A and B are shown apart, each in its own frame.
Chain A
Amino acid sequence: ELKVEQNPLFLSMQEGKNYTIYCNYSTTSDRLYWYRQDPGKSLESLFVLLSNGAVKQEGRLMASLDTKARLSTLHITAAVHDLSATYFCAVNPDTDSWGKLQFGAGTQVVVTP
């Protein structure tokens, strides 16, 4: 059974500082997603990482994938209040060809002045 673990589950950030969210998964996969969810809202796709060593950046967010370590990281640079949200990673296992995803439990991020 595929397991996807995120840590931390809660992250209190100070504005201007850098932080990292980790996503570990238990089976082989070359496709990992990061989503953002604002309170009471739906999920918005941030990044899809398709191969070992893949790195994607958008504004203050940068995601990377190490398929050998089965680890993805979401790095936040100089946190700002607008980044307060819950961040989910999700993995599509190699054994599935239809795009099924296993989600992590999510990391709730709160950015304060």
Chain B
Amino acid sequence: NAGVTQTPKFQVLKTGQSMTLQCAQDMNHNSMYWYRQDPGMGLRLIYYSASEGTTDKGEVPNGYNVSRLNKREFSLRLESAAPSQTSVYFCASSGAEKTQYFGPGTRLLVL
């Protein structure tokens, strides 16, 4: 039982490049989330998916897109990376009890 997995663990991009962060969970959870974590700012919600087939914007969605591929997988895409998107990205999932379980994170550096 791996819980929530994320790939890659670390990525360096140049400004303007694109990339997709992958997230998968094996806990049969309906809801999945993408956060970014910046120093001193806690976690901020980028997008979430309440259930398979639905996605909604969170607090900081600009510059990102998401896809809920199936119940297990929720990907985050940066179409044209900017230095302001340098951050640590966490994926999380939750079930009926609503406690969110987090993946190990992806450290992204945009030059």
Using CB atoms and an 8 Å cutoff, list the residues of chain A in contact with chain B: 4, 9, 31, 33, 41-45, 48, 88, 90, 92, 98-106
Using CB atoms and an 8 Å cutoff, list the residues of chain B in contact with chain A: 31, 33, 40-45, 48, 50, 58, 90, 92, 94, 97-105
**Known contacts being A43-B90, A98-B31, A98-B50, is A106 close to B42, with CB within 8 Å?**
yes
Q: Which residues of B contact A9 (CB under 8 A)?
A: 40
B94 touches A99 (CB 8 A): yes
How distant is B54 from chain A, measured CB to nearest CB, in Å? Answer: 9
Q: Which residues of B contact A45 (CB under 8 A)?
A: 99-101
**Known contacts being A42-B105, A99-B94, is A105 close to B40, with CB within 8 Å?**
yes
**Alpha-carbon distance between A92 and B97 when the two chains are bound, in angstroms:** 12
How distant is A75 from chain B, measured CB to nearest CB, in Å? Answer: 21
Question: From A31, which residue of chain B is reached at the shortest CB distance?
Answer: B98
How distant is B15 from chain A, measured CB to nearest CB, in Å? Answer: 25
B42 touches A42 (CB 8 A): no
Those 3 A-B pairs whose CB atoms lie nearest each other, nearest first: A99-B98, A98-B50, A103-B42
A100 touches B45 (CB 8 A): yes
Q: Which residues of A contact B45 (CB under 8 A)?
A: 100-102
B104 touches A42 (CB 8 A): yes
A99 touches B100 (CB 8 A): yes
A101 touches B102 (CB 8 A): no
Q: Which residues of A contact B98 (CB under 8 A)?
A: 31, 48, 92, 99
Q: Which residues of A contact B48 (CB under 8 A)?
A: 98, 100
* Residue among B33, B41, B43, B105 with max Cβ neighbours from chain A (10 Å): B43
Q: Which residues of B contact A48 (CB under 8 A)?
A: 97-99
Q: Which residues of B contact A33 (CB under 8 A)?
A: 99-100
